[in-house]
Amino acid sequence: MNYRYLTFLLAVFCWQLSAQNGSPLPRHLTSDEKTQLFQQGTPDDIVLSGLTDPPSQPVRTMAEWEELQAILIAWNGPSSWLEILAEIVRASREECRVVISCNSQNTIVSAQNYLNAAGVDITSNVEFIVGLTDAIWIRDYGPNCVYVNGVDSLYMVDWKYNRPSRKRDDSLATTIAPYFSVPLYRTLLAPADLVNTGGNFMSDGLGTAFASKLVLNENATGNIYGVSAKTEDQVDALLNDYMGIKRYIKMDVLPYDGIHHIDMHMKLLDEETLLVGEYPDGESDGPQIEANIAYVLGNYKSVFGTPFKVIRVPMPSFYDNGTYPPYAGQSALYPTFANALFVNKT
C-alpha cells in the first residue's frame, strides 16, 4: 500500500492582504477581470490538458488534518506577503516537504536568497520548481488530492477556477501533477465543466464537504463563466464523481464577505468539530453566520452520527475604533482568524 499523503494549501493567515498594495492581483475579481469575463475565448491548450472524465473508481477526498507529505506555495507578491510566506516555510518544513512554485529560474534564485536572508533553513524539505502563477492565492486554484481505496493511490482533481483571466493559476495543476507523478482529473468540459474554488471547500475526509452557495451561483443558468448550467443535484453529482463527496452541505453566502469563501469564517477541526467565527451581537456578518450554523446543526450530524461541536473564534475588527466589515471603499477587506492551515503537528 502506498501511503502518500499530499495536500496543497496556502493559508495567508488572517488578513486580506490585497488591501495593502494595489499592484498584485487580489483574491477577488478586479474591474478589468470582470470586463474580460465577457470576452473569453477558447482556453489555451495547457488549460485543456489533463483527464476530463472522472476517475473510473470511487475516490475519497482527504481532510486537511490527515498526514501530509507536502504543501505547495506560490512565491508571488510584494515583500509584505513574502514575509508571511517565509514564516509558513519556516514552520512547515519541520513537518513535511515544502514545494515552492516560482515563475522563472530567476524567481527561484530570488526566493532562495530571500529565505536565506530571513534565516529559513532551505537545505532540506524545501523544493523549488518553475510553475507559472498569476497570484498568490493557491488555496483557491491549486489541485485537490483524492485517493482510490482509502489511501492507496493518489490522484489530483482540478476545477475550473473562478478567475478565468488568470490562465497561469488555472493551469498550474498541469505542472504540479507531473512533478508528483500522479494522474490529473479536471472539470473543464461540459457537462462536467464545474467552476469551484478551494477557499470555498472543506472536506471531512469521509465523504462530507461544506461550502457556501457560491458554488451553486457560479454554475447556475446565466453564470458569467460560460459553463453549462447545472442544478444543485448536478453539482452534487460532479462532486461525487470527481471527489467522492456523498454529502455536500451548502450555506447562504455572507453579505459582506466579498468573495463568499467559507474559509473566511469557518474551519473543520475534525470530523465532528467546527471552528466558527463570531462577531458581537448584530455586527457585520454575524447574523448570517449564526443562521448558517443553526441550519447546519438543525439538519445535519457528523459522519459518525453525533451532533457537530462548535468552537468559537472571535472575528477581529481592523481599525483601532473597533469597526467591522463592511469598510467604505474597501469591500475586499475582511479580517479573520478562521483562515488557517494544518501541517501535520503544526
When divided into structural domains, the chain yields a total of: 1
For residue 333, tell me if it sits in a domain: no
330 occurs within a structural domain? no
pLDDT at 117 > cutoff 90: yes
Mean pLDDT of 119-127: 98
- 3-state per-residue secondary structure call for 1-58: CCCCCCCCCCCCCCCCHHHHCCCCCCCCCCHHHHHHHHHCCCCCHHHHCCECCCCCCC
> How high is the pLDDT of residue 322?
84
CATH number at residue 187: 3.75.10.10
Evaluate if residue 255 carries a pLDDT over 70: yes
How many percent of the chain have pLDDT more than 70? 86
**pLDDT value, residue 150:** 78
44-47 long-range contacts, CB within 8 A, separation 24+ = 44/167, 44/171, 46/167, 46/171, 46/174, 47/167, 47/170, 47/171, 47/174, 47/188
Identify whether 42 is part of a domain.
yes
Residues 304-326: tens digit of each pLDDT: 999 999 999 999 998 767 899 99
Flag whether 136 is in a domain: yes
pLDDT at 171 over 90: yes
Strand duo 97-102 + 70-74: pairing: parallel
Tens of pLDDT, residue by residue over 18-65, are: 333 346 765 555 555 555 554 544 445 445 678 999 999 999 999 999
Q: In sequence order, which residues have a C-beta less than 8 Å from that of residue 198 and are 6 or more positions away?
A: 9, 139, 140, 141, 142, 144
Structural domain of 83: 17-314
CB 288 within 8 A of CB 254: yes
Residue labelled with grid coordinates 482540478: 158
pLDDT tops 70 at residue 16:
no
Averaged pLDDT score across all residues of the chain: 88
Residue 35's CB is within 10 A of a number of other CB atoms, namely 11
Q: What are the DSSP E strand ranges found in 246-345?
A: 247-251, 266-270, 273-278, 309-314
**Taking the mean position of all CA atoms in its chain, how far away is CA 298?**
27
Taking CA atoms, 202 is separated from 31, 124, 209, 220, 294, in Å, by 28, 30, 5, 21, 18
Q: What integer pLDDT is reported at residue 205 of this predicted model?
A: 98
Q: Is 293 helix (H, G, I), strand (E, B) or coil?
A: helix
Q: Are 266 and 338 in contact (CB under 8 A)?
A: yes
- pLDDT of 273 above 50: yes
Of 268, 276, 340, 266, the residue nearest 311 (C-alpha): 276
345 belongs to a structural domain: no
Contact between 259 and 253 under an 8 Å Cβ cutoff? The reply is no
pLDDT tens per residue, range 204-240: 999 999 999 999 999 999 999 999 999 999 999 999 9
For residue 338, is it within any domain?
A: no
3-state helix, strand, coil in the chain (%, to 5): 30, 20, 55
In a domain, 6, yes or no: no
Q: Is residue 178 part of a domain?
A: yes
In this prediction, residue 8 carries a pLDDT of: 39
Q: Does residue 330 register a pLDDT over 90?
A: no
Average pLDDT over residues 278-295: 98
Instruction: Please answer whether residues 138 and 71 qualify as being in contact, where contact means their C-beta atoms are separated by less than 8 angstroms.
Output: no
CB 194 within 8 A of CB 70: no
Cell 485517493 sits at which residue?
147
Pairing state between β 97-102 and 184-187: unpaired
Distances (CA, A) of 31 to 25, 34, 122, 159, 241: 11, 5, 38, 23, 34
